[in-house]
Structure formats: structure tokens, C-alpha cells
Structure 1
Amino acid sequence: MPDDAHPDLLELAKKIAVEAGEAVLEVYDKGEFDAYQKDDESPVTSADYLANDIINKRLKEATPDIPILSEENKHASLAERKHWPRYWLIDPIDGTQEFIARSGDFAVNIALIENNQPAIGVIFWPPGQSLYYAQKGKGAFKSSPDGDHPIKVRKLDDPKKSVVMIAISRRQSREKVLSRMCARRVYQTLPLGSCSLKACFIAEGKADVFMRIGITGEWDTGASQCIVSEAGGSIAAANFEPLTYNQRHSLENPDFVVMGDQRVPWQDVIQYDDFVNPHLD
């Protein structure tokens, strides 16, 4: 796809993410939704399906030639997917548990993957009325009631000694994360739901690192990886190997880490000795 097509696709993704997010927020405010449990025991709600329907409909209307891979759709086999030069990667609601728990920490994620790498990332946080977005090579931005402005990861005064702010799950044991961080550093924690919102907070300098331990899908990191990378950070598997997109039969991610200031010696800070990737196929 030529570069001059990207701005139109970025604007399209932004518009659709906001439309889906506003529909989800209306359901959230009313508190009228049904919750279910999927085969993998993860939660899903009628709001997830509503957002998924809106996103799929709008994308199919505007870009019928670009396939869609969504958490809530039936997934094509690798035999079919491996021939896709580009595709939309969707998480209709990242943070469904938070939506159900009414913490407000949930977001709509839309990414465009090209040649197995995130090229566009859009994340809309409905309760915060904040839209985070990025295009590969063009920087990362945040749009909110305060206006539009570029975002960058926080630069620590001393990359080797400054206090590190960890974005940490509201639902996960703090010890599970802190036990994998170097004991010689000093940390503060910022409790927050939704993988993608934690990544966005790192991208705009409100936190420095986030470690995700547990099952996620490629749709949980596609948009975030584009935004964080363009803001000067990075996302990698917990063993610091690159995340992959559309290259395995499984669409599950390994445990992963989102890192801000790249001057920090993250491989010393993060001590994840027991990393095992169960999906090497």
C-alpha cells in the first residue's frame, strides 16, 4: 500500500473507534448489558459484540479489500491468513473485566498490520474521552477535550537509578509482577485496567513499564505497539524477543512487557527467568 493511503486509513480508524466507543459508553452508562463466558473462560459482553458489529460493518464498507481479524470474529486459519499483505486487527473492547466491574478502564483498539508489523494504531478510551493514535514513522498523538498534541514516553533523570513507575493491573497480583523486577531499583505503582490503556499511559509519560503475565491475543498489542513505538518506547515478549503478528497458528501472545525510556537498561530491570512461550507453532 502506498504511503499516501495511510492518512486516509488512519482517519478512518479514528472515526470508527470513536463511533464504536461512544456506543459502548452509552451501554456502560445505562448498565444494561449481558455478560457471558467464552470457551477460554474469558468474559465477553453484549457491548463487546455491539462494538465488534459497528467496527466490522464500517471497515467492510470503506475497505472491502482489507481482511479483518477481530477477537470476537471467527478466526481464519494460518493457511489463509499468511497470504494477507495487510489486515485490520481489532479488539472491540480491551478491558472487558473492567467494563463489567465499572472501573472505567476499557478501550476500543483498531490496528492496521502490514507485512506482519503494526503500521497504524488507534485506541479510544470512552470514559476518558481520549483518543490515542499513531502511524508508523509519523509519531504518536493524543486527542482529548484539551486538544490534540504529540505524546512521548517519559525521560528519566537518571536511567540507571531514577524511580520507575510501573503500570500494574487492578486484577493481577502485584507480587507476580514485582517479584520479576530487579530488587536494586525503586518502584512506584499505578493501578490501571486494560492492557492498551496501560500502554497508552506509558506512551504519554504517565508510567514507565508494564508487564503482562497471562493470556492475551495479538489484538491486545497491535495498536499499542504502534503507538508506544512511535512515542519512543517499545513492546516485546518478556524474554525480549519481538512479538509476532500473523505468523503462527496460535493468535495468543506470550507474556510481554511495555517499556518507556529506551535509555533504561530494561534487561537488567526486568528479570523474567521463567519465561516459556507455549505457542511456538
Structure 2
Amino acid sequence: MPDDVGKLLEIAQQAAKKAGKVVWEVYDAEDYVAYAKDDDSPVTTADYLANEIITSYLQEHAPDIPIMSEEQDNPDLTIRAHWPRYWLIDPIDGTQEFVARSGDFAVNIALIEDNQPKIGVIYWPAGDSLYYAVRGQGAFKSSPQESGPIHVRSFDNPKEDVVVIAISRRQSRDKVMSRMSEQRIYQTLPLGSCSLKACFIAEGKADFFMRIGQTGEWDTGAAQCIVTEVGGDILSVDFERLSYNQRNILTNPNFLVMGDQNVNWQEVVNYYEED
């Protein structure tokens, strides 16, 4: 691993853990105020605090790398299109879960290089778990219970094995299941943030996640790096690559997180757009 990449990975890890631990203290003490954004999605003073901690740390230790974040005003594409690399952060992925007190929220930090994730770091405060990856170097998990490389679950029979679907706690189960092939058997695992579901797929605790609804590039950047390094993938529901820093808008299409690539996921997913 080049020294520059190794150093940047360590910086991202430290920033995520630093913000995550402070956010957990705020969460534990219920010492925050919640607001509604213009799109009615929630944001809290903890989101802004985490954003400040992360951006300050990144600017101190990697001052030449620009930052994009969910919780700040980001430059127009005419400016950021010239960035060879930049940090992409979601200070609290799963703010709804933070407010609902499920514990299923995480801190996301990605380094995007040449419009694709190069480094992905996700810290889950409730489990004191750090998931991380560098493109081409594999992915790992570090927690009090276990540390080491992770990998998606390998299917014994890719055509018939039960598929474990990670489903958002606040999303209708029927909304997802109606878009899945009736030729398979499924189990569901309720979870919170997008990135946490992706991490559970990356470590083999689930196999699939379908996100229907608005997300931003910061919701998938770190997760995509981790999932693709362990034998999985993240694609739009049309099975197209997600883009980073190539459009004026920073929203994602509806997308899929898939584990074992020996499974023909295009046969498993029966996606359709609602009228």
C-alpha cells in the first residue's frame, strides 16, 4: 500500500472514530436538537457537530484535499469537476435511527479519486466497529469482539440458497419484497442506515439490500469501496454504475447492494418503478 494512501486511510479512520465517539456521547445523553430539512428529512445538532469534527480533522491533516459533505454547502460542478480527489463524508448516516434511538447509525468517510471510491471508512458507534477498505487491498473490520479481513457470504447453491435481505426499519417490507423474484426464498434482517446494511453484507451477515428513496453520493461512497473489495457490488436498480462528482446534483438513483456475485442478481431482482 503506497505510503500516501496508508496515511490517508489512517487519517480517515481517526476522523471517523473521533466524531463517532463524540456523537455517541451526545446520543447517550440525549443532548441534541432535531430539525427538518427542506425535503423533510431530519438533521440534528449532532450531525453538525460530527461534521465540524470530521472536517476540522481532515483539513488539519490533509489540507490539500477538498471536502464534500451532506451537512454543508458544496461547490458547483464547474469547480469540483477539476478535483482529482476529494473527501466525501456523511457525518451521521441514519439520522432517523439516531432520533429514533435504535443505535443503527454510522459515520461515513470516503476518499474519491478519479470519480471512484479509493478509500472507504465506516464507523458504527453502537458496536464500536470500524469497517474500512482501500481499493485493491481488501476490506477489514476492527471491533472489540473481532478484527481482521471480511468477505461476503459465499452461497453453496447460488441458484437456490436462501437470500438474507437487509431491510430498513422504517421501510415497508412489502415495498421491497414485491420487487423480488418469487422463485427464491428470503429471510429479512431489519437494520438502520444504508451504510450499516452494506457493512453487514460485506461481512456476510446479510446478502442483499434494495434502497428505494432519496440518498446522496455520501451515502454510498465509503460503502461501495468496502463492498466491492469483499466480492460484492453496489449498482443502480438498472444495474448501472453509480457516479461520483459527475453531475450538478449529488443524489443517487435507487440502488442495490449485493453480496456473492456468483448469484445472478438480475434474476433475483424484479424491480419496477411505481406509477
Distance (Å, rounded) in 2 between the aligned partners of 1:164 and 1:157? 12
Distance (Å, rounded) in 2 between the aligned partners of 1:28 and 1:164? 33
Q: CA deviation at 1:273?
A: 3.0
Distance (Å, rounded) in 2 between the aligned partners of 1:150 and 1:216? 28
TM-score normalised according to structure 2 size: 0.98
**1:20 — aligned with what?**
19
Query: Quick one: which amino acid aligns to residue 183 of structure 2?
Result: R
Alignment of 1:131 with 2:130, yes or no, is: yes
Query: Quick one: which amino acid aligns to residue 44 of structure 2?
Result: T
**1:201 — aligned with what?**
200
Query: Quick one: which amino acid aligns to residue 252 of structure 2?
Result: N
Distance (Å, rounded) in 2 between the aligned partners of 1:230 and 1:62? 26
After superposition, where does 1:169-188 map in structure 2 within 5 Å?
A: 169-188=168-187
Task: Tell me if structure 2 keeps the 8 A contact 1:239–1:275.
Answer: no
Q: CA deviation at 1:272?
A: 1.2
Distance (Å, rounded) in 2 between the aligned partners of 1:19 and 1:242? 32
**2:217 — aligned with what?**
218
1:7-42 Cα distance to aligned partner (Å, 9 max, x none): 000011001100000000000000111000111111
Task: Out of 141-150 and 253-262, give the one that drifted further.
Answer: 141-150
After superposition, where does 1:52-201 map in structure 2 within 5 Å?
A: 52-201=51-200
Distance (Å, rounded) in 2 between the aligned partners of 1:115 and 1:73? 22
Distance (Å, rounded) in 2 between the aligned partners of 1:273 and 1:242? 18
Q: What value does the CA root-mean-square deviation take over the aligned residues? A: 1.2
SS at the partner of 1:221?
helix
Task: Tell me if structure 2 keeps the 8 A contact 1:238–1:275.
Answer: no
Query: Quick one: which amino acid aligns to residue 113 of structure 1?
Result: I
Distance (Å, rounded) in 1 between the aligned partners of 2:57 and 2:15? 7
SS at the partner of 2:18?
helix
1:218-244 Cα distance to aligned partner (Å, 9 max, x none): 000000000000111000001100000
Query: Quick one: which amino acid aligns to residue 12 of structure 1?
Result: I
**1:279 — aligned with what?**
none
SS at the partner of 2:40?
coil
The change in CA–CA distance for 1:191 and 1:32 in structure 2 (over 3 A counts) is same
Q: CA deviation at 1:147?
A: 3.9
Unaligned runs of 5+ in 1: 277-281
Query: Quick one: which amino acid aligns to residue 112 of structure 2?
Result: I
Runs of 4 or more above 4 Å deviation: none
Unaligned runs of 5+ in 2: none
TM-score normalised according to structure 1 size: 0.96
Distance (Å, rounded) in 1 between the aligned partners of 2:228 and 2:104? 22
**2:240 — aligned with what?**
241
Q: CA deviation at 1:274?
A: 2.5
Q: CA deviation at 1:275?
A: 8.2
**1:269 — aligned with what?**
268
Q: CA deviation at 1:4?
A: 3.0
Q: How many residue pairs end up in the alignment?
A: 275
SS at the partner of 1:160?
coil
Alignment of 1:30 with 2:23, yes or no, is: no
Identity %: 67
SS at the partner of 1:40?
coil
Distance (Å, rounded) in 1 between the aligned partners of 2:5 and 2:245? 20
Distance (Å, rounded) in 2 between the aligned partners of 1:206 and 1:7? 28
